[in-house]
Structure 1
Amino acid sequence: MEGAGRECKNHSHGALHHHGWHNMYEDKDLIKEQDVLPFVEDYSNFDIVKATQYGLLERCQELIEAGYDVRQPDKENVTLLHWAAINNRLDLVKFFISKGAIVDQLGGDLNSTPLHWAIRQGHLSMVILLLKFGADPALIDGEGYSSLHLAVLFQHMPVIAYLISKGQSVDTTDRNGQTPLMLSAHKVIGMEPTRFLLKFNPSIRAVDNVEKNTALHWAILAGNVNAVDLLLEAGSSLDIKNVKGERPLDLAHQTKNRVIIHLLSEEEKVRDRKTSRFMKILEKNEFLLLLISSLILIWAIGCVADLNSDSWLLKGSLLVFIFVALSFFARLFVGFNKLQYFPIAFMLSSIFWISWTFFIYFLPNLSGTLAQLPFFLSIVGVLYYFYKTVRTDPGYIKTTEEETRKNIINLAESGSLDFRTFCTSCLVKKPLRSMHCHSCNSCVARYDQHCIWIGRCVGVGNHCYFVLFLFFLTMMNIWAIYGAILYWSEHCTTTYHQDGAWTSFTQIVSCSPWVLYVFALTSFHALWSALLLILQFYQIAFFGLTSHEKITLWRQSKRSKHPISLRKTPYNHGCLQNLADFFQCRCFGMFKPNVVDWTKQYTQKFHSLMDQDVHPV
């Protein structure tokens, strides 16, 4: 306990040391759980402090009825309410307050209230109870910290969320004028709770009263690289000077932290680029530049392969030059965050050159409209369903600031404020089957995957379009492979049966290296799209599960001693019904699809195993 060097028989309190905090003693050695009591002692001999520590309500009632003053502090100015708060004795707190205990009584060496003690221990239920009885979270303790500052120091995210939702300002200041964000950046090394606080839109330009430092200044002084990165991403100013006239970069040079100096220098360059009109135009068209680069890259590789020269050294040198030149171009004109879309640009460029090759090389070998029509339909289907998949909301969970605060309060007061029901990144109540996607930085309803080939999440809103996109892409590639085989049969003079594999291969290469190159591209795209399509149909039809749910259940089954059947889930309604539910298809009245709004489905009860597995962090 705080400044209370008390000992109970056979039980000693260990001092808690955390971020410079001391003189506060924890009850973990005294008692591990509220309901576990020692079997060797006579409770009737316990004094009221020890009875409070152990949560002995009847003994406390007996002593208070005998005349003990509930407001009476001990010799170290610690009251019974303090002891009950730090040990999370909810019933005793209610009883003591009913007998006249002062909710905001200051006590101990750190001159703290019971609420301060409960927050240091992370007892959310006790925090909720004390606030209901009128505890003031804005009160400053002996070291100058408010309740929110303490929650930040001890990294109790649920307590932080609850205090802010109950109305405590995220920019409240301590005795020195430091906000919780400054304190987190300075005292807590790592990403949390700095990242968590930024979700509540704190002021990143605020300065303290003494040093006039921003949160970024404090992070630099502490060498907190993660906090520096987060604050730069949030848009912290690089120009604000502290009381000594030092900008963040000046302070970084003084600390000689090379990583932070690099981060600040690069951020300064990026921001300078954004002020340039030319760079603004480039930034708006970064994906177009990436797509053009990919088109040129695929074309250039094919052209090099199609050269008449037999010198592999020459061809290799040309390929290296092309890669270096395009890499330099991408680094110079395409932002790092856009490079994640290279797989999309590569796929679209491949579709363009596959289509061009089909029309120029393969189409003359396909006689009749019926032989040509499937490829045209496949191209239209691919482009249409790619557009629908990318442009349709996959099921992002949206909420207002007011709804967020209400959800936090309701979940906290019901004892359900945990990662399965609440997303600490999006600050939203998580529906069933949803998951937070770190690439999109959003929670997605009925999450399936984040697909690199479309550059966004696949969820309840666009899952059907995604499957149809895969279907038409597979058909297009299969038809292009068929066209290549017909082209070789018409233009190559050798056959596999007559001349063997190697002679046939060399003849195919000599016929047209470009066709062989496009055939390789087509085969690659056909392989991944077909495998993904088969997997999607299999898990949808036979299990009624998403990719994420299937993988999670499979991993859970591997860890469990008892095998878990993927078929026995609350989402599996039989093969035909699963397909009808997925495509929302009635088949002329033969089926009645189940309609569920997964963006708002919170209360439906499923098997406990699924409740665990479909709500990952």
Structure 2
Amino acid sequence: MDWNERDACHSHGHMGDSCHEHGTGHSHGHGGPGFGGFMPSFHGPIIPGPIDPTQQPRKFSHPEDSSSWDIVKATQYGALERCKELIEAGYDVRQPDKENVTLLHWAAINNRADIVKYYISKGAIIDQLGGDLNSTPLHWAIRQGHLSMVIQLMRYGADPSLADGEGYRGLHLAVLFQHMPIAAYLMAKGQEVDYPDINGQTSLMLAAQKIIGPEPTNFLLKCNASVNAVDKVNRNSPLHCAVLAGNVDSANILLEAGASVDLENANGHTPIDLAHQVHSPLLIHMLNVVKTERIRANSACLKVLNKYKVYLQCLISVVVVGAIGAILDMKTESWLLKGVLLACIMAVINLTSRQLATVAVQSLIPSTSLMASVFWMVVTWGLWFLPDDPSATVQMLFTVNITALLYYYLRSCRTDPGIVRATEEEKKKNIVVLAEAGCLDPRIFCTSCMMRKPMRASHCFACNSCVAKQDHHSIWINGCIGARNHPFFVLFLVALNFHCIWMFYGSIMYWSKHCPLHYSEEGVWGTLTNLMGCSPWVLYIFCFAFLNTSWASILLVLQLWQIAFLGLTTAERANLTHRQRKLPQASSLRQNPFNLGVVRNLVNFFQWRCCGLCKPVVLDWTQQFPMGHGREHPMFSGLDAV
């Protein structure tokens, strides 16, 4: 429904079925006067369609002459001059119509900022109650998602803590209608996230009970809503509410946030008891699994494992990689025995992962496997290749290379990538400033972190934080690559490629001395068979070097191309590429304000000074905000997924 159709539905003669016909998504509530059948009563999940809270309504071109309109119709359609004419003629601005709705209500619901200003100047009561739901003009504006109107009314003194006829306050309505920018603004202006409605239910309880899906439950938890608060009637927690509503997504989010599965309500029922009552096998299984995991997590053994999980995972990876290589290198001719031993190792790994591995531990597998392979490469060089090539130059170069590899890897892992941080007061201040400037949108405001994003920052869902100049989340270091550790990561890739080249060199030299090969006579398969029979371990390590070189070289080339020729990060390039597919006329990848040419791009990225010959630009990307509030360059016109 466009704005013209929405406004037409607000006139006195079109407040009933016409709203159903236009499909506003708000027509399943009260059918009486006041809200005219399209303002909902929350007896079930309310999932309204999206409304742009910053959009201003267009002036409606009506075929009739506005001079014949009554004041209600003139207010609804935004005919300010007609409203002034009637008010000056003696119409009382405080007088409600036959539906007990004031002129200020109609102006607020239709987002008529100039008319609201005029009525307030003429003595309109800012918090006057009206309509079937006994709501204030602010309630009406919140239900419709008019953020600019909410801001205007609150500037005139509207009180969002007042309850309507159903007991909902301003924040509760914003959450129930899923107008998250309005909810963020109300909280920034001082509304407590856990402030209860008349029935003692918090916004989180209402979201879990009435909104099917992860939002706005996720949003409220990020605003520090209490997961174990209980209402004053039934003593139900948000998890109780989610289970009763069969809201699996919300229940899962609440459990991840630490909601208690053993909390009893007024009837002595836990969430698991309620899951049995609503006959939901999925919820029963989910709650029981979480309860079992929490009991197990309290054991002293698992606490130690979680504390040292990174070191233990590294040790396990080293042992597993070494054990597989040792089995392959066994002198026995029986491949059946080797196969049985390998199967036993796989079974032990599978059993251990099922019993102990969590999502956090599983995320460590790629990085620890990489370090395990590097460890055994170094061991192979020292025990297999070093005795055959005692050249001091070769050994020195290899030592320098492995030292650089370990150094840059540790710097990549341990250096803060540029996580953007803000205090609660700073977040609230930014929300108010951006909202009142009409800039509370995902390009500038991160709805996950609830704060203003610096220029070139992106939200990483794996890290659950905004990262300055974020490139990507790397599985190889189990962390984000951003403004502060990106150069170390690129140098790590360079060192890893050279390390693998050294392993290729050592393997070839070893085979040339210990494994006479006749490729022209035996072919590929015969050569591989001879190598496997001669030294399975060296072939095993050679395969690891080949695999690491494959991904590391491709990633290095892509990184250097983006840095030198585009001046962009991976996230920015993906965003612009996506826009180019949707909008062929969009600017090219090279046309962006951060591309200063190959030399300048490299100098600024690596901070090369070359004994004073180069002067790189030093910027703290966690503090680089765009001028003003908007982002006018084409590369910022696409919405970030946050």
User: TM-score if structure 2 supplies the norm length?
Assistant: 0.91
Residue 534 (str. 1) matches residue 551 (str. 2):
no
Q: Which residue of the partner structure matches residue 149 of structure 1?
A: 172
Q: Which residue of the partner structure matches residue 22 of structure 1?
A: 30
Q: Which residue of the partner structure matches residue 167 of structure 1?
A: 190
Residue 158 (str. 1) matches residue 181 (str. 2):
yes
Provide the C-alpha distance between the structure 1 equivalents of 2:490 and 2:138, rounded to a whole number of angstroms.
53
Q: Which residue of the partner structure matches residue 521 of structure 1?
A: 544
How many Å apart are 1:34 and its aligned residue?
2.6
Structure 1 residue matching 2:459: 3-state secondary structure:
strand
Q: Which residue of the partner structure matches residue 608 of structure 1?
A: 633
How many Å apart are 1:217 and its aligned residue?
0.7
Percent identity, aligned pairs only?
50
User: TM-score if structure 1 supplies the norm length?
Assistant: 0.95
How many Å apart are 1:524 and its aligned residue?
0.5
| 1:83-482 equivalent positions in 2, closer than 5 A | 83-482=106-505
Counterpart code for 1:540:
I
Higher mean C-alpha deviation, range 378-387 or range 366-375: 366-375
Q: Which residue of the partner structure matches residue 43 of structure 2?
A: none
Counterpart code for 2:526:
T
Counterpart code for 1:89:
R
Provide the C-alpha distance between the structure 1 equivalents of 2:291 and 2:75, rounded to a whole number of angstroms.
57
Q: 1:290 to 1:327 in 2, by over 3 A?
A: farther
Q: Which residue of the partner structure matches residue 13 of structure 2?
A: 7
Counterpart code for 1:21:
G
How many Å apart are 1:427 and its aligned residue?
1.0
Q: 1:265 to 1:250 in 2, by over 3 A?
A: same
1:436 touches 1:442 (CA, 8 Å); kept in 2? yes
Provide the C-alpha distance between the structure 2 equivalents of 1:202 and 1:113, rounded to a whole number of angstroms.
26
Structure 1 vs Structure 2 CA RMSD = 2.3
Q: Over residues 17-76 of structure 1, what are the superposed CA-to-partner deviations in whole Å (9 max), with x where a residue is unaligned? A: 659633334699xxx973242352212111111111111111111111111111111111
Structure 2 residue matching 1:457: 3-state secondary structure:
strand
2:272 touches 2:284 (CA, 8 Å); kept in 1? yes
Provide the C-alpha distance between the structure 2 equivalents of 1:303 and 1:354, rounded to a whole number of angstroms.
14
1:581 touches 1:594 (CA, 8 Å); kept in 2? yes
Structure 2 residue matching 1:7: 3-state secondary structure:
helix
How many Å apart are 1:499 and its aligned residue?
4.5
Q: Over residues 477-525 of structure 1, what are the superposed CA-to-partner deviations in whole Å (9 max), with x where a residue is unaligned? A: 1101110011111111223245443333222121111111110011101
Q: 1:8 to 1:190 in 2, by over 3 A?
A: closer
Counterpart code for 1:554:
T
Q: Over residues 541-571 of structure 1, what are the superposed CA-to-partner deviations in whole Å (9 max), with x where a residue is unaligned? A: 1111111112222222222222632222100
Counterpart code for 1:7:
G
Provide the C-alpha distance between the structure 1 equivalents of 2:326 and 2:460, rounded to a whole number of angstroms.
40
Counterpart code for 1:436:
H
How many Å apart are 1:319 and its aligned residue?
2.0
Provide the C-alpha distance between the structure 2 equivalents of 1:448 and 1:413, rounded to a whole number of angstroms.
31
Counterpart code for 1:184:
A
Higher mean C-alpha deviation, range 543-552 or range 453-462: 543-552
Provide the C-alpha distance between the structure 2 equivalents of 1:226 and 1:381, rounded to a whole number of angstroms.
46
Q: Which residue of the partner structure matches residue 52 of structure 2?
A: none
Provide the C-alpha distance between the structure 2 equivalents of 1:376 and 1:302, rounded to a whole number of angstroms.
24
Counterpart code for 2:260:
S
Provide the C-alpha distance between the structure 2 equivalents of 1:228 and 1:503, rounded to a whole number of angstroms.
59
Provide the C-alpha distance between the structure 2 equivalents of 1:52 and 1:373, rounded to a whole number of angstroms.
84
1:374 touches 1:479 (CA, 8 Å); kept in 2? no
How many Å apart are 1:314 and its aligned residue?
3.6
Q: 1:52 to 1:526 in 2, by over 3 A?
A: same
Higher mean C-alpha deviation, range 19-28 or range 425-434: 19-28
Higher mean C-alpha deviation, range 133-142 or range 259-268: 259-268
Provide the C-alpha distance between the structure 2 equivalents of 1:336 and 1:8, rounded to a whole number of angstroms.
54
1:293 touches 1:326 (CA, 8 Å); kept in 2? no
Provide the C-alpha distance between the structure 2 equivalents of 1:120 and 1:575, rounded to a whole number of angstroms.
52
How many Å apart are 1:383 and its aligned residue?
1.0
Q: 1:116 to 1:246 in 2, by over 3 A?
A: same
1:434 touches 1:443 (CA, 8 Å); kept in 2? yes
Provide the C-alpha distance between the structure 1 equivalents of 2:513 and 2:12, rounded to a whole number of angstroms.
95
1:34 touches 1:54 (CA, 8 Å); kept in 2? no
Structure 1 residue matching 2:135: 3-state secondary structure:
coil
Q: 1:33 to 1:385 in 2, by over 3 A?
A: closer
Counterpart code for 1:50:
K
How many Å apart are 1:609 and its aligned residue?
1.1
Provide the C-alpha distance between the structure 2 equivalents of 1:503 and 1:242, rounded to a whole number of angstroms.
73
In structure 2, which of residues 66, 73, 86 is the aligned counterpart of residue 43 of structure 1? 66
Provide the C-alpha distance between the structure 2 equivalents of 1:286 and 1:34, rounded to a whole number of angstroms.
56
Residue 595 (str. 1) matches residue 601 (str. 2):
no
How many Å apart are 1:613 and its aligned residue?
4.6
How many Å apart are 1:285 and its aligned residue?
2.0
How many Å apart are 1:208 and its aligned residue?
1.0
Provide the C-alpha distance between the structure 2 equivalents of 1:468 and 1:569, rounded to a whole number of angstroms.
25
Name stretches of at least 5 consecutive residues in structure 1 with no aligned partner: none
2:107 touches 2:113 (CA, 8 Å); kept in 1? yes
Counterpart code for 1:114:
P
Q: 1:512 to 1:278 in 2, by over 3 A?
A: same
Q: Which residue of the partner structure matches residue 506 of structure 2?
A: 483
Name stretches of at least 5 consecutive residues in structure 2 with no aligned partner: 1-5, 40-48, 50-54
Counterpart code for 1:412:
A
Counterpart code for 2:206:
L
How many Å apart are 1:104 and its aligned residue?
0.5
Q: Which residue of the partner structure matches residue 78 of structure 1?
A: 101
How many Å apart are 1:160 and its aligned residue?
0.5
1:435 touches 1:443 (CA, 8 Å); kept in 2? yes
Higher mean C-alpha deviation, range 264-273 or range 218-227: 264-273
How many pairs align?
614
Q: Over residues 142-186 of structure 1, what are the superposed CA-to-partner deviations in whole Å (9 max), with x where a residue is unaligned? A: 111111111111000001100011011111111211111111111
Q: Over residues 412-467 of structure 1, what are the superposed CA-to-partner deviations in whole Å (9 max), with x where a residue is unaligned? A: 00000010111111111001100000000000000101000000000001011111
Counterpart code for 2:86:
L
Provide the C-alpha distance between the structure 1 equivalents of 2:14 and 2:581, rounded to a whole number of angstroms.
46
Q: Which residue of the partner structure matches residue 562 of structure 1?
A: 585
1:432 touches 1:614 (CA, 8 Å); kept in 2? no
Structure 1 residue matching 2:480: 3-state secondary structure:
strand
Higher mean C-alpha deviation, range 188-197 or range 14-23: 14-23
How many Å apart are 1:222 and its aligned residue?
0.5
Provide the C-alpha distance between the structure 2 equivalents of 1:12 and 1:421, rounded to a whole number of angstroms.
37
Q: Over residues 71-129 of structure 1, what are the superposed CA-to-partner deviations in whole Å (9 max), with x where a residue is unaligned? A: 11111101111111011111111111111111101011111100000000010000001
1:152 touches 1:193 (CA, 8 Å); kept in 2? yes
How many Å apart are 1:259 and its aligned residue?
1.6
Provide the C-alpha distance between the structure 1 equivalents of 2:181 and 2:60, rounded to a whole number of angstroms.
28
Counterpart code for 2:273:
D
Provide the C-alpha distance between the structure 2 equivalents of 1:386 and 1:254, rounded to a whole number of angstroms.
53
2:418 touches 2:468 (CA, 8 Å); kept in 1? yes
How many Å apart are 1:287 and its aligned residue?
2.3
1:145 touches 1:174 (CA, 8 Å); kept in 2? yes
Provide the C-alpha distance between the structure 1 equivalents of 2:638 and 2:127, rounded to a whole number of angstroms.
42
Counterpart code for 2:232:
N
